[in-house]
Amino acid sequence: MEGDICDPDRAAYPRIFPPREAGESDHQPFERCVNFPVSVVLPAAGTGERTGLQTPKQFCSFLGRPLISYTIQAFERVSWIQSIVVVVLKENMALMTDIIQRFQHRKVRVVPGGSTRHRSICSGVLALGELEGEESHAAVQPKVVIIHDAVRPFVEADFLYKIAMAAKEQGAAGAIRPLVSTVIATTSEGYLDHSLDRAKYRASEMPQGFTYDVIYQAYQRCTESDFDFGTECLHLALQYCGVSAKLIEGPPTLWKVTYKRDLAAAESIIKETLSRSACVVTGASAQAVTLAGTLQKAARTWDMELNVIPDLKGDNGSYLLTEWNFILVSGSLPCLSEVEAILTDFKAANRAPLHPFVIVWVHLSSSDELSISRTMAEQVAIMDLASAAKLQNIFLYGIQIHQSKEVPPPPPPPFVLMKPLGGSGKPWN
């Protein structure tokens, strides 16, 4: 049914969420989902000439991670998207496969692109009709295809939901934004011919959605000239399938990375949003899970996203590659081995810590017999560990929350960071 609540663990996904615009609705803890198969085509076979860089912009790295990995993650975290086809130049297919493996992306297939964006998108759409390998078990031919430029990393699940639902109803749907500049027509001699009434026009952005049949037919019927010079999929749907797309005004975060300045803007947004997310590792301790749950609820009021996981093993290992702030909550007697283990995991993940990581070790102690000497010894030990971690560009903080057995536990304190033990980095928030 439309709007079914599903995937209540959505918060468990690693998230990059674009800065909230004034008045935007608060982050929803649950995700609306659709009840028909939806797949995504991410055209990423361009060369990014307008950036003036050798590296195509979709492969430019921010905080040790290529731009396209952030875009893929934005779609991966949407549980009702069954599969993602990334379309890259043949010579970049090995690189793209490596990125998928390194950042443990799921539901992703790579296909070769073409000499123009339309040819690349068409290649992705055709691939959705030819399911192969393990994909054929997990995914079916989609009812709706979402097409989204791989260089638009800031896209939210709520907007994708709107586009998918409108595409299913209407056959096609697209994101639009108000024009910033007026559109004018020029004469062949380079003079003004006429200007368009800006109020009547909008900028066509991405994501766009189409029923599979519409976009498939549109590409079957369009001309070579469309393939070579066209820039608008919505036009093909209208021209060759008679489907007039539903237009939905999107948030300003849907902009496309086109010029070098856009790369700098994207990096600052990624950094800003990453500083507002953290991974809480609770271990097996029920006490730690309780505190983490309280923290997660409180963090939402600070516009922060906390992913709560028991450990960093298996699939959760991907957090070591995508998260920058970790809160290790240990309810047992302080065992530095948990901290040492996470530092070892970081080393094994071979993260190039160009920017400081932060690990906050929260130790809940309820024993009244904690001897002063023991506490001192632990503090010295963790400060030594923090000094060693700092050489890896990891700032280790320690917080000890001691509650006596005699006194009922107080409400969890507002999460205030202590001065770093041994580190000297800025508190992460």
Ligand X SMILES: O=P(O)(O)OC[C@@H](O)[C@@H](O)[C@@H](O)CO
Structure token digits, residue 259: 């010029």
Q: Which helix (H) or strand (E) holds 134?
A: helix 134-138
Structure token digits, residue 126: 């055709």
Of the candidate spans 58-66, 106-114, 225-233, 376-384, the one that interacts with ligand X by CB under 6 A turns out to be: 225-233
Letter for the amino acid at 241?
C
- Considering beta carbons, is residue 149 or 378 the nearer one to ligand X? 149
- Considering beta carbons, is residue 111 or 236 the nearer one to ligand X? 236
Least separation in angstroms between CB 54 and ligand CTP: 12
User: Is 207 a binder of ligand CTP (CB under 6 A)?
Assistant: no
Q: Binding ligand CTP by CB under 6 A: which of 58, 211, 296, 365?
A: 58
Q: CA geometry: angle at 375 spanning 369 and 381, to 5°?
A: 145
Nearest-angstrom CA–CA distance, 33 and 5? 6
Structure token digits, residue 264: 């700098």
Least separation in angstroms between CB 394 and ligand CTP: 34
Residues numbered 123-162 forming contacts with ligand X, rule: CB under 6 A: 149
- CB < 8 Å & 24+ apart, contacts of 98-104: 99/59, 99/66, 99/68, 99/69, 100/72, 102/321, 103/65, 103/69, 103/72, 103/73, 103/318, 103/321, 103/322, 104/315, 104/317, 104/318, 104/321
Partner touching 58 among ligand X, ligand CTP, none, CB below 5 to 8 Å by kind? ligand CTP
Size of the site for ligand X (CB under 6 A): 10
Q: Which of 229, 197, 115, 208 is nearest to 159 (CA)?
A: 208
What Rg, from alpha-carbon coordinates, does the chain have? 25
User: Is 7 a binder of ligand X (CB under 6 A)?
Assistant: no
User: Is 47 a binder of ligand CTP (CB under 6 A)?
Assistant: yes
Partner touching 232 among ligand CTP, ligand X, none, CB below 5 to 8 Å by kind? ligand X
Which residue matches tokens 């393939």?
227
Q: Which of 284, 314, 392 is nearest to 346 (CA)?
A: 392
DSSP structural state of residue 86? E
Q: Binding ligand X by CB under 6 A: which of 16, 206, 214, 218?
A: 206
Residues numbered 129-158 forming contacts with ligand CTP, rule: CB under 6 A: 149-151
Site string for ligand X, 360-389 (x = CB under 6 A): ------------------------------
Structure token digits, residue 205: 């952005």
Q: Which helix (H) or strand (E) holds 326?
A: strand 325-330
- Considering beta carbons, is residue 116 or 296 the nearer one to ligand CTP? 116
- Nearest residue to ligand X by CB is 231
User: Is 271 a binder of ligand CTP (CB under 6 A)?
Assistant: no
Residues numbered 255-284 forming contacts with ligand X, rule: CB under 6 A: 256, 258
Nearest-angstrom CA–CA distance, 103 and 111? 18
Nearest-angstrom CA–CA distance, 418 and 300? 21
Partner touching 44 among ligand CTP, ligand X, none, CB below 5 to 8 Å by kind? ligand CTP
Q: HSE of 281 in the Cβ direction (CA atoms, 13 Å)?
A: 20
User: Is 400 a binder of ligand CTP (CB under 6 A)?
Assistant: no
Q: Which of 261, 240, 234 is nearest to 167 (CA)?
A: 234
- Considering beta carbons, is residue 73 or 170 the nearer one to ligand CTP? 73
User: Is 48 a binder of ligand CTP (CB under 6 A)?
Assistant: yes
User: Is 232 a binder of ligand X (CB under 6 A)?
Assistant: yes
Q: Binding ligand CTP by CB under 6 A: which of 256, 260, 355, 390?
A: 256
Partner touching 116 among ligand CTP, ligand X, none, CB below 5 to 8 Å by kind? ligand CTP
User: Is 57 a binder of ligand X (CB under 6 A)?
Assistant: no
Of the candidate spans 81-89, 157-165, 204-212, 321-329, the one that interacts with ligand X by CB under 6 A turns out to be: 204-212
Three-state SS for 12? helix
Size of the site for ligand CTP (CB under 6 A): 22
Q: CA geometry: angle at 318 spanning 343 and 351, to 5°?
A: 50
Instruction: Give the residues lining the site for ligand CTP (CB under 6 A).
Output: 43-50, 56, 58, 87, 113-117, 120, 149-151, 256, 258
Instruction: Give the residues lining the site for ligand X (CB under 6 A).
Output: 117, 149, 204-206, 231-233, 256, 258
